Amino acid sequence: MIALTESTVRSSFVNVSLRERRAIVVPTDLAEREWERLDYLGWRDPKSPLLGFIVADIDGAPVGLQLRQAEQPTRTRPQCSWCSDVTLPNDVVFFAARRTGSAGKAGNTVGTLLCAGFQCSANVRRLDPPAYLGHDVRAARDRRVEALRAHVDGFFRDLMTA
């Protein structure tokens, strides 16, 4: 992912109002991020912990989405829809995001299960032990990274279509 600034992040959001965009608490550590190891930028609002934000590179431009975590916890331990990691060291929660345009103004949303702290980029880059003799762990990692990027891209595109 390309390095982002606060103004780029703030202006990238497509499913919020102008007032909501101004109120977004953008992370202060953007300059220290390892952008080459991120497939998307994700964070939670420290003042409103049910709010989450994601910015991803869609067609060469940053696009941001505001998400809201469901207040009701899941009954079982779910699997993240994006990184599909079965050995997650973190929680997975249900997030809903308002669609863009008139569908979003009408209250239409799309939901997905995601790592609570948006750790998908780190999860897919972890080198797992070989599954069998001759298993190429680096190629498996590369496939997980590509799958994550495809899931992120698909979610964003789904939200941006009416």
In tens, the pLDDT along 9-24 reads: 999 999 999 999 999 9
Cβ 64 vs Cβ 53: under 8 Å? yes
* pLDDT attached to residue 16: 92
Q: Find where tokens 């469901």 sit.
A: 70
Above pLDDT 70, what percent of the chain? 95
Determine the pLDDT at residue 150: 96
Buried b (16+ CB within 10 A) or exposed e, 61-87: ebbbbbbbbeeeeeeeeeebbbbebee
Of 113 and 129, more confident: 113
Mean pLDDT, rounded, of the chain: 90
Q: Would you state the pLDDT for residue 86? A: 65
Residue 90 has pLDDT above 70, yes or no: no
pLDDT band at 120 (very low <50, low <70, confident <90, very high): very high
| Residue 88 confidence (pLDDT) above 70 | no
